[in-house]
Structure 1
């Protein structure tokens, strides 16, 4: 229940009362105001002006208070104001200076926050004229940024690809590394689905981290296979040899990383959902990427290595670098002792 003060402007003008001054006077009498302070007994005392409690005990006592008009006469509030009892909210919530109602919710099982935001937008289109929907907190960022994580993921892949292209001096062989990543990404989403977790910001951070880890494993195999191919092995032999030699190091590093993620998977307490989501995304992807990667990467290298066979990044490029040829000439150059021995024989 609430009380409203209805002011009759015509009566107030007849009585010579200013509405602004009347409201200011009422605010002082009912709500009080700080005027000044004084020091006594080495202490500071504040002075507040307010009507005596016996004159503001009941809501109807407001009408018995007085205000001075422009003639200096005391006019009761009941002469131009009346008290009306109504019903209303205890608190009025505003957002961007508009009256608003706060709604909180969570997506249903099997749906992401993006699906929930899209559903709210569809319902908001059916609202009457003058109504709208706004977001707060993390929902505000997600609704305004959209699928920004997809672009970030594509930038990460492009960065990895160009770094490998510079390393292998080929635009084709790095594709063996890039196309091996979907295996691990599938494992991430599979484990998230099995554990009933959603694809949120924690899972997306795990996916970005997974690109570097799985790419590192693929690079180990492809790098060794490229070296063996330069030494004279065929592409098939180089791919098989690279998988054999790098199999044990990949398993050791990958399973050590997976073991370190187990505490995140079984986390409890505050923040447990975030820890489990991050751990599940990284563990599932690393497990699938390790088990199937040692089989997929050699096959991809054979395919793209065959396509890159006989092609060079730069036309008429020498296989041996200038520094390598110089080092080889220095190593084969005869020493001073060999020169003296040759001269002695002559």
Structure 2
């Protein structure tokens, strides 16, 4: 009902004539068969349920899935009798915005720490769908043998076997019917299996052949079990997760505040308790570490490839000074276009590092050629600027405008590539001005330093015919 109210609300404010919803279906106490509208299952236990709303393609509507999810959550509110309700709207789910994993040998400590963290998270604006990884399972009855039952020789295993046989059934025989084998199960009549009172009145046989009612053989305690039990390194772990509305708060700031505050207090209050950041934070950390190692290796290889033909230690560094300015341009590009700096943006910056040095390479190579032909430093720099201005500018502009259609694309498929395109396009454009203005200046400064220490110029070390 609330889902349909959400759709009706956004259909009124969406300027398009078609509804934002394609399909709406729910699953209670089972699984969705493969090949259904969602292509997979969701709820997988009798006490679970899910509602799935399939939207029209993003390019045909102006309402985002996050806005729909946010309004749906607001309309749903708290539902009586429901222990946990959560909403997800991510196309690619990397994990919760906040996901803290606690590990300890004592489950009581884990439960206390998780509850304290959930209380703290609830105090942050924008924190939603706060939950832990130990959701309550189905209702169950826990049976504990009484002293009388133990005296009569009844064991816990025997008690469980008799209760199972009475209510689920015990296999009596098997019949062959054609190609099929049929099991014949024996159990109590249906009228004796309807209520808790029927269970309490069930007769339990003793090893001596006598019988006593179940209420005398065991103490019954109502409760709930756990649907999952997670372990890491033979220790029980419990994850506390929360989604963060990025229009209200920043997940990185919340995690930083938790690490310096609540999480430090919890590890101090409960010796042996450890925590790790999972979800988006872990994915981001792993990606950054892997990318950092690859970026350093790429810079080293680039330096080696430039140092060999130039026969210089300083000029490769001069050429590579365009890289940090390209990074500045990529960041400015994200500010101008209104996109957040993401992991995909960093992928684009890494690719930018290999492209942005091309203009510097053209400029330095032309200066060296002019000096090898007998020109003075000042004249060689001016001549290189004149000769390389048009190729450098045109190369950068054609690259920028070649990436512009991707940046302006609105389809869902292009959303993953747009941050990379922004990094490349604006990084190259910004670094072009640096190449034309700053690189010649730095070259002049290096020549002054070389003359100060009476070092032999590069073009004289590798001759006029070398590049």
Normalising by structure 2, report the TM-score: 0.58
Structure 1 residues 93 and 184, CA, compared in 2 at 3 Å: closer, same or farther? same
Higher-Rg member (1/2): 1
Structure 1 residues 80 and 179, CA, compared in 2 at 3 Å: closer, same or farther? same
Looking at structure 2, the residues matched to 170 and 34 of structure 1 have their Cα atoms a distance apart, in angstroms, of: 86
Count of residues in correspondence between the two structures = 319
Looking at structure 1, the residues matched to 295 and 280 of structure 2 have their Cα atoms a distance apart, in angstroms, of: 20
Please list the CA deviations of residues 325-344 of structure 1 after superposition, one character each: whole Å capped at 9, or x if unmatched. Answer: xxxxxxxxxxxxxxxxxxxx
Structure 1 residues 301 and 84, CA, compared in 2 at 3 Å: closer, same or farther? same
Looking at structure 2, the residues matched to 36 and 210 of structure 1 have their Cα atoms a distance apart, in angstroms, of: 73
Structure 1 residues 234 and 204, CA, compared in 2 at 3 Å: closer, same or farther? same
User: Contact (CA 8 Å) 2:146, 2:216: kept in 1 or not?
Assistant: no
Match of residue 332 from structure 1:
none
Structure 1 residues 283 and 144, CA, compared in 2 at 3 Å: closer, same or farther? closer
Equivalent of 2:270, from 129, 147, 156?
129
More strand by share: 2
1:265 aligns with 2:378: no
User: Contact (CA 8 Å) 1:5, 1:81: kept in 2 or not?
Assistant: no
5+ residue gaps, structure 1, are: 325-346
Please list the CA deviations of residues 61-100 of structure 1 after superposition, one character each: whole Å capped at 9, or x if unmatched. Answer: 32233443322444432222233345x5885664646363
Match of residue 58 from structure 1:
195
Q: Report 1:186-197 matches (<5 A).
A: 186-197=328-339
1:69 aligns with 2:213: no
1:311 aligns with 2:455: yes
Paired residue secondary structure (1:16):
coil
After TM superposition, give the deviation of residue 159 of structure 1 in Å.
Answer: 2.7
Match of residue 16 from structure 1:
153
Equivalent of 1:81, from 214, 218, 234?
218
Equivalent of 2:257, from 119, 123, 127?
119
Match of residue 204 from structure 1:
346
1:230 aligns with 2:369: no
Moved more, 88-97 or 279-288: 88-97
Moved more, 265-274 or 234-243: 265-274
User: Contact (CA 8 Å) 1:177, 1:215: kept in 2 or not?
Assistant: yes
User: Contact (CA 8 Å) 2:145, 2:156: kept in 1 or not?
Assistant: no
Paired residue secondary structure (2:360):
helix
After TM superposition, give the deviation of residue 113 of structure 1 in Å.
Answer: 5.5
User: Contact (CA 8 Å) 1:34, 1:47: kept in 2 or not?
Assistant: yes
Structure 1 residues 110 and 247, CA, compared in 2 at 3 Å: closer, same or farther? farther
Looking at structure 1, the residues matched to 164 and 148 of structure 2 have their Cα atoms a distance apart, in angstroms, of: 21
Please list the CA deviations of residues 95-135 of structure 1 after superposition, one character each: whole Å capped at 9, or x if unmatched. Answer: 64636354122374598765443333223112352765444
Match of residue 6 from structure 2:
none
After TM superposition, give the deviation of residue 53 of structure 1 in Å.
Answer: 3.5
Looking at structure 1, the residues matched to 245 and 371 of structure 2 have their Cα atoms a distance apart, in angstroms, of: 53
Match of residue 160 from structure 1:
302
Structure 1 residues 101 and 182, CA, compared in 2 at 3 Å: closer, same or farther? closer
Please list the CA deviations of residues 256-285 of structure 1 after superposition, one character each: whole Å capped at 9, or x if unmatched. Answer: 322232243234354655333222222221
Q: Report 1:20-39 matches (<5 A).
A: 20-31=157-168, 38-39=175-176
User: Contact (CA 8 Å) 2:172, 2:186: kept in 1 or not?
Assistant: yes
Paired residue secondary structure (1:206):
helix
Structure 1 residues 215 and 53, CA, compared in 2 at 3 Å: closer, same or farther? farther
User: Contact (CA 8 Å) 1:63, 1:81: kept in 2 or not?
Assistant: no
Match of residue 333 from structure 1:
none
Please list the CA deviations of residues 185-217 of structure 1 after superposition, one character each: whole Å capped at 9, or x if unmatched. Answer: 111111223334333321111111111111112
Looking at structure 2, the residues matched to 59 and 225 of structure 1 have their Cα atoms a distance apart, in angstroms, of: 94
